[in-house]
Amino acid sequence: MSRPRSDASTGSDASTGSAASTGSAAGSAAADPLRPADHADAVDPVSGSDGITQPALGVVGWLRWGWRQLTSMRTALVLLLLLAIAAVPGSLVPQRSADPNGVRQYFVDNPDLAPVLDNLSLFDVYTSPWFSAIYILLFVSLVGCVIPRTKHHYKAMRAQPPRTPARLSRLDVHHSEILECQDDQDAAAAAAAAVDAAQQQLRKAGYRVARYDGGRAFSVSAERGYLRETGNLVFHASLVGVLLAVGIGGGFTYTGQTVIIEGRTWVNTMLDYTSFNPGRFVDEDALTPYALTLDDFSLSYVAPGQQGAGQAGDFVAHLSTQFPDADAGTGEVRVNHPLQIAGDKVYLMGNGYAPTITVRNGDGDVVFSEPVPFLPQDNNMTSQGVVKVPDGLREQVGMVGFFYPTAQELTNGALTSVYGDLEYPMLTFWVYAGDLGIDGGVPKSVYTLDPAEMTQLAGGDSGAESLELKPGETVDLPDGLGTVTFDNEAPEGAAGFQDSVKRYVSLSIHRDAAATWVLVFAVLATAGLLAALFIPRRRMWVRATPQGHTVQLEYAGLARGEDPALDGAVDQFAQRHLASLADREPAGARPARPETTPDVD
Amino acid sequence: MPDASPLTLDSVSVLLVWTAIAIYALAFIAYAVDLARRGAVAVEAKDAAARTARDRELVAAGGGSARTGIIEQMRAQEAASEDALNAPVGRRSRLVWARIGTSLTVLGFLFHLGGDVTRGIAAGRVPWSNMYEFALTGTLLIVAVYLGVLFRYDLRFLGTFITGLVVVLLGGTAIWFYTDIVPLMDPLKSVWLVIHVFVASLATALFALAFGLSVLQLMQARREARIAVAARAQDAADTSAGSTAKTGPRFLQTLPSAEALESLAYRFAILGFIFWTFTLIAGSIWANDAWGRYWGFDTKEVWTFVIWVLYAGYIHARATRGWRGSRSAWLSIIGFTAVIFNFTIVNMFFKGLHAYSGLS
Ligand code: HEM
């Protein structure tokens, strides 16, 4: 069958086949009362009802005006751009939330500038008044925008597709065909039958349809793609959901840090945390008192001679877990694989060596004996730690220790570590005696020593050599204070130094009440976005007008939102419809003129 | 540079990458010649069109001013260019130099792919886990998306932009970012590395195309505006002499209208935006596994967010009266600038948890 081609005539000169529908084209059909007034597809307010001459406004009038401004597309856009700009400084200046040490350092490096920046909240950008103002306004605008649109959309979904416009030829896409009737056929009947068929096909293609027969003409009006608007609303509403989940969930969220040395046990109570940040609604006394024991911390090293030699990885903390009134269990914490326990998640944040150190007084009595966590200073685990012996010696003694898992002497005589594993461990101490300053009641970090009230007896500028120990060795403290032993923790008879020093892990324990909800809303938002961006929403009309012994068939389409495929869709539909008419009545109505027909209206 | 002495898989990879760079550079030249020649062809076509237009004007007996003449001519040309843009592969205009450019791009792509795959095999993992490898795979995806899109749209006029961009990025990468293969750091041992980084690169590729189209859109819009002004001036002077106004590079005369370029840019940008949204979510899930929180305003997170918001702004702008058109195009351009900034400057100079560039 030779298919008649007819040109898609374009409704308005301005939009040459573009997706943009010019609202005026279909009159009220395209106007969308509850889209924001400055939506590109809305009726231009200058020519529309909202004239530019504002009447004198009362308070209510001003409020309404202000609300309309706030919920306009333009405001939303400006606020979005402001939000983007406002987020940037937080990446240029260290933030207290992400990098507290960086902030401290910034104050040291820029003593004049830092207080000024601090006054502008530049170290807390994301909780600053100005940042908050932007996103709160944005979300007020969002809610103010979404609610009326939801109402409108709800109505639209229940309403019938709109009346067929009188002048279909003025729409974005329009085809016209002339059908010739058979001799014995009534043109009106043929027209009705054609529209019946179109109605059926449109419905099958997922359109909502309504018939508008009247006067001489028969027509079907169809609309599809309501899901586009639904998606848009779901997307925007889900953003509100994300914000609420973060805001409310944050109140029930806590994070705490702790350190566990191999062989030691930690209990989930406030006492055992080294730091704890609870949300507003967290009951600190209601933590589940489970216990974690670090049985072993394993890791592997890239062997010397290979690329990336010395790099450590495959960190695993092997834990025993114990709940009150329950059997013990085991668990593992690895990077990327937190341990889930009692609704908490336990993360591996760091690890290091905790050399076991024993101090004896002049009489040989043990006055200190425990593993001391040392903080790693470089990739080869050169580590630093502090031993404080407040009681039992003639004077208070403080020692700053340096630990080298694989020690090597530099040309200047200083030691360094050349490998992270325990190949040739060495521990050195600077020794101080005097007042540790821990009796004043001011809490002091276990990782730092304040030597202000102390005299240095060994190492550094003291004139005396620092103490040097290998695992298992004991040396005298200066001035006959006593002895220090670097205990070898390896099992009896072990060769080499493996396991001679205990390791520790630093763990972070989290309860995040918000994360799941945030994820749910984020996924919903994405689904909504996909629908909103890719489901075309369009209207289609088919009208059949009997004209003597022929029927004029018109097909028209109108995009509502971006719809690059509209042309093709109308074209395809017209062809399929015409083909079906020809098939159904082989000898009956068939397209009359193979050439383009002029649009008649 | 890796040791060249024993021919390791990794040094083969480097060799392939450099070959690819050289071929892309040739492709760039071919595409540039194509653009220059399009200008010449356009002038001929215009003369021909002017002739027919004049004939028609005679027929239409005194119809039309100079203004409608020039503008109609421009519209007709743009409509024709738009048809050419959408023409199926078999029915495209035979632009010899563009063909050479595309063939070279395909060849360069094959070498590039080889370089990327051998790097992955040499490393025994996906080849996108440090800055050098992100750049290798990211640029590969830019070319792949460009070549893929060519099946649907005749976007060869973007060839200079794409090959130029890739030569610069890949060249810079090979010179400055090369890092030896080392085992992955623990936080990177995750399926999310595979997903998150790959999707981010894909989004970048789509944003790159949108960027190129937005730039052309602005140029074309300026040309259209100047032609409109020239036509009005001619009307006022009532001469029908040919327009002499400067309207930008001549190849613009072979491109679709600003509006058509805009709607195409928009289509790539929304695809990119979807992938970027996914990147953001996948990154948060990963951060939650690796660092114990899904969001912490780490520098890289901040920039990912900023980019997301910028493109959300772009999509909004398209739907806001007064912003559709050139203003929204600027947002697409700013968005892509932020993407490149995020990839280069932020990776290299900003401090943060995402310290996986492998550069020291
Ligand atoms: C948190 C802030 C916001 C973000 C991130 C955002 C993002 C987006 C995105 C990505 C789209 C495109 C997807 C779609 O069509 O559904 C969109 C569309 C839209 N947004 Fe928003 N939006 C925000 C706030 C607002 C506000 C406050 C309004 C009301 C003034 C609004 C009104 C609209 C409208 C009407 C559309 C549809 C545009 C069209 O017809 O193509 N949005 N928004």
Tell me what pLDDT residue A5 has: 35
Phi, psi at residue A575, to the nearest 5°? -65, -40
What's the CA gap between A227 and A208, in Å, rounded?
12
Tell me if B2 is assigned to some domain: no
Residue of B180, B297, B302 lying closest to A307 (CB–CB): B180
Identify any residues that bridge with A542 across adjacent strands, giving them in sequence order.
A220, A555
Weakly modelled stretches of chain A, pLDDT under 50: 1-31, 33, 45-52, 586-590, 592-601
Tell me if B1 is assigned to some domain: no
- Domain spans of chain A? 1-42, 58-156, 160-225+536-598, 254-340, 356-486
Question: What is the domain count for chain B?
Answer: 1
Residue with tokens 């010395």: A310
Task: Please give the residue that has the higher pLDDT: either A9 or B102.
Answer: B102
Identify any residues that bridge with A266 across adjacent strands, giving them in sequence order.
A292
The C-alpha angle A524, A528, A530, rounded to 5 degrees, equals 120
Q: Which residue has the CA at smallest separation from atom 32 of ligand 1?
A: A73
Tell me if B224 is assigned to some domain: yes
Tell me what pLDDT residue B296 has: 86
Query: Are the CB atoms for B31 and B163 separated by under 8 Å?
Result: yes
Tell me what pLDDT residue B322 has: 84
Q: Which residue has the CA at smallest separation from atom 16 of ligand 1?
A: A232
Tell me what pLDDT residue A31 has: 44
Tell me what pLDDT residue A123 has: 93
pLDDT (tens digit, 9 = 90+) per residue, B62-92? 445 555 677 887 888 888 888 888 888 888 8
Tell me if B4 is assigned to some domain: no
Q: What are the structure tokens assigned to A25, written together?
A: 């084209």
Contact A83 B294 (CB under 8 A): no
Tell me if B234 is assigned to some domain: yes
ipTM over 0.85 threshold: yes
Domain around B211? 9-349
Q: Which residues does A147 contact at the CB level (< 8 Å), separation at least 6?
A: none
Task: Please give the residue that has the higher pLDDT: either B58 or A288.
Answer: A288
pLDDT (tens digit, 9 = 90+) per residue, B191-220? 888 899 899 999 999 999 999 999 999 999
What's the CA gap between A404 and A382, in Å, rounded?
5
What's the CA gap between A585 and A181, in Å, rounded?
11
Tell me what pLDDT residue A60 has: 86
Task: Please give the residue that has the higher pLDDT: either B286 or B246.
Answer: B286
User: Does B330 have pLDDT greater than 80?
Assistant: yes
Which H helix or E strand runs over A351?
Answer: strand A344-354
What's the CA gap between B350 and B360, in Å, rounded?
13
What's the CA gap between A73 and A63, in Å, rounded?
18
Q: What are the structure tokens assigned to B98, written together?
A: 């563009």
Tell me what pLDDT residue B184 has: 82
What's the CA gap between A29 and B238, in Å, rounded?
42
Q: What are the structure tokens assigned to A295, written together?
A: 């049985």
Report, as an integer, the average pLDDT of B211-233.
90
Tell me what pLDDT residue A597 has: 41
Residue of A44, A74, A534 lying closest to B320 (CB–CB): A74
Tell me what pLDDT residue A589 has: 46
B55 has a chain A CB within 8 A of its CB: no
Residue A311 CB neighbours (<10 A): 17
Query: Are the CB atoms for A319 and A331 separated by under 8 Å?
Result: yes
Q: Which residue has the CA at smallest separation from atom 29 of ligand 1?
A: A145
Q: What are the structure tokens assigned to B232, written together?
A: 């009005």
Q: What are the structure tokens assigned to A394, written together?
A: 């003639």
Residue B104 CB neighbours (<10 A): 22
User: Does B239 have pLDDT greater than 60?
Assistant: no
Percent of chain B predicted with pLDDT > 70: 86
- Contact residues of ligand 1, CB 6 A cut-off: A 35-36, 39, 71-73, 76, 80, 138, 141-142, 145, 232, 235-236, 239, 529, 532-533, 561; B 312, 315-316, 319
Q: Residue B357's pLDDT band (boundaries 50, 70, 90)?
A: low
Tell me if B3 is assigned to some domain: no
Answer CATH for A160-225+536-598 from 3.30.160.110, 3.40.50.2000, 3.40.50.12160, 3.40.190.10: 3.30.160.110
Interface contacts A/B by beta carbons within 8 Å: 164
pLDDT (tens digit, 9 = 90+) per residue, A350-389? 999 999 999 999 888 999 999 999 999 988 899 999 999 9
